Amino acid sequence: MASMMFTDCSSSTTSLLIHLNRRSSTTLLRQSVGQLRLRTTVSGRACSLSIRSADAASDKVIDGKAVAKTIRDEITVEVSRMKESIGVVPGLAVILVGDRKDSATYVRNKKKACESVGIQSFEVRLAEDSSEEEVMKSVSGFNDDPSVHGILVQLPLPSHMDEQNILNAVSIEKDVDGFHPLNIGRLAMRGREPLFVPCTPKGCIELLHRYNVDIKGKRAVVIGRSNIVGMPAALLLQREDATVTIIHSRTKNPEEITREADIIISAVGQPNMVRGSWIKPGAVLIDVGINPVEDPDAPRGYRLVGDICYEEASKVASAITPVPGGVGPMTIAMLLSNTLTSAKRIHNFQ
């Protein structure tokens, strides 16, 4: 039976049709055979919109939500085994400074994720005007706490704080975010192994592995060169023996470069920047971008889209991650995985 799969890169129609789907799914299922095409424009960027059979498109979707659930189930088993065998429960500590709503949401989601797999969570909340010394004191306390195996400082920090000083103060043995310079340095060097890999790029590579995407010898393009995603993603692809090119804001003719790529990881934070015309037929696309786009019909007045125009790209690519539901769930899954790995390493548990 055909079902409705809705993909749209630049209009507010997504939320409208999803809303209609909740009210009258049977009618929409009957009407979804064939294809409806609209042209819409937001901020001067046009993108096609279609309703198609899910059977035709589902094989192309890299389902990060499903993979993350599988990984969390695996972690739950290991956490339980560790507790029963040696009486140790992995622990993750989060330090939140200030009252940013988005940061508070991220921290709350991480806490729920910990609870779902049996990892113990610790949390310190500090005021926006707290001193850097207060944050460092919290970091030091968790460094010395044997029940804590991973420490995460929620970013961004207030502007009066030196972010690098604080991140560098986290014990490398508990740096489950993977941002410590020694971890990044080891990641960059052949023959060295980092204790931890940054969670989002690690999740990108894990998706490629779980979907049996061959990386060795392939041409890979990473769009974006941030310390958090772009740079470590490029290093990880290089470790997998891909030939890697990084595209950034000063790159000339990025379309020509991406058209040569077998694998694209985009982490630039620009909605729908990567068009279908940029993509080599059969390429595999990992979209890290989570960009809010105005949508008056959405409950919050906006919806989320990726860096890649999904509708255009999905017609050309052999596989693609959706936004949301692609890389996002993998980031937290990798954080939980790194915390478990840390606890096992510290307690020499196999």
Residues 230 and 269 in one domain: yes
Based on the residue annotation, tell me whether 145 is a catalytic residue of this protein: no
String of b and e for 139-156 (b: at least 16 CB within 10 Å)?
Answer: beebeeeeebbbbbbbee
How many angstroms separate the CA atoms of 302 and 45, rounded?
Answer: 17
For residues 165 and 202, membership in a common domain is answered with no
Print the domain residue range for 147. Answer: 87-170
pLDDT at site 102: 85
Largest Cα separation within the chain, whole Å, is 62
Residues 214 and 318 in one domain: yes
Domain assignment of residue 77, yes or no: no
pLDDT at residue 4 is higher than 90:
no
Residue 9 lies in a domain: no
Residues 54 and 92 in one domain: no
Which residues contact residue 240 at a Cβ distance below 8 angstroms, ignoring those fewer than 6 apart? 205, 215, 216
Pick the catalytic residue from 120, 154, 262, 307.
Answer: 154
Q: Look at residue 349 and tell me if it is in a domain.
A: no
Quick one: average pLDDT of 27-38?
A: 30
Q: Are residues 97 and 150 in the same domain?
A: yes
Q: What is the DSSP letter of 60?
A: G
Residues 102-124 have a mean pLDDT of 95
pLDDT at residue 319 is higher than 70:
yes
Verify that 237 and 324 share a domain, yes or no.
Answer: yes
Residue 174 falls in the annotated catalytic set: no
Residue that the structure tokens 């993603």 belong to: 233
Flag whether pLDDT at 46 surpasses 60: no
In angstroms, how far is CA 305 from the centroid of its own chain? 13
Q: Could you tell me how many helices (H) and strands (E) the chain has, helices first?
A: 13, 13
Residue 54 has pLDDT above 60, yes or no: no
3-state helix, strand, coil in the chain (%, to 5): 45, 20, 40
Structural domain includes residue 110: yes
Q: How many CB atoms lie within 10 A of CB 105?
A: 10
CA distance 149 to 143: 8
CATH at residue 274: 3.40.50.720
Task: Provide the residue count of the chain.
Answer: 350
Q: What is each CA distance from 135 to 98, 170, 205, in whole angstroms? A: 11, 11, 32
Indicate whether 72 belongs to any domain.
no
Q: What is the pLDDT of residue 252?
A: 97
- % of the chain residues with pLDDT over 70: 83
Tell me which DSSP letter residue 308 carries: B
Asked if residue 286 and residue 207 are part of one domain, the reply reads: yes
Q: What is the mean pLDDT of residues 52-58?
A: 44
Percent of the chain with pLDDT over 90: 81
Q: pLDDT at position 333, please?
A: 98
Task: Map residue 127 onto helix, strand or coil.
Answer: coil
Of 19-28, 165-174, 273-282, 298-307, the poorest mean pLDDT is in: 19-28
For residue 206, how many other CB atoms are within 10 A of its CB? 21
Ordered alpha helix ranges (H), the chain = 13-23, 25-31, 54-57, 64-86, 101-117, 132-144, 163-169, 181-188, 199-210, 230-239, 254-258, 310-314, 327-346
Mean pLDDT of 230-248: 98
Residue 69 lies in a domain: no
Do 136 and 25 sit in the same domain of this protein? no
pLDDT (0 to 100) of residue 326: 97
Residues 132 and 166 in one domain: yes
User: In Å, how far are 105, 128, 130, 136, 212 from 159, measured between CA atoms?
Assistant: 20, 10, 11, 15, 42
- Among 34-48, 51-65, 70-84, 207-221, the range scoring the smallest mean pLDDT is 34-48
Active-site choice (177, 287, 295, 307): 177
- Taking the C-alpha atoms of residue 345 and residue 173, their distance in angstroms, rounded to an integer, is 9
Give the least confident one: 100-104, 153-157, 165-169, 242-246: 100-104
Active site residue 177: yes
CA dist 146 → 173, 331, 346 (Å): 12, 25, 9
Question: Whole-model pTM?
Answer: 0.82
Q: Which of 8, 63, 110, 218 is catalytic?
A: 110
CA distance 229 to 93: 22
Identify whether 222 is part of a domain. yes
Q: Which of 106, 119, 96 is nearest to 337 (CA)?
A: 119
CA dihedral 219, 223, 229, 230 (to 10 degrees): 70
Query: Residues 256, 325: one domain?
Result: yes
In this structure, are 49 and 115 located in the same domain? no
Q: Is residue 47 part of a domain?
A: yes
Of 328, 337, 65, which is closest to residue 177 (Cα–Cα)? 337
Q: Amino acid letter at 86?
A: I
Has residue 340 got a pLDDT over 50?
yes
CATH number for the domain spanning 128: value is 3.40.50.10860
Instruction: Please count the structural domains in the chain.
Output: 2
104, two tokens: 């508070």
Task: Please determine, for residue 80, whether its predicted confidence score (pLDDT) is greater than 80.
Answer: yes
- How far from 31 is each of 5, 7, 8, 55, CA to CA, in Å? 12, 16, 18, 15
165 plus 260 within the same structural domain: no
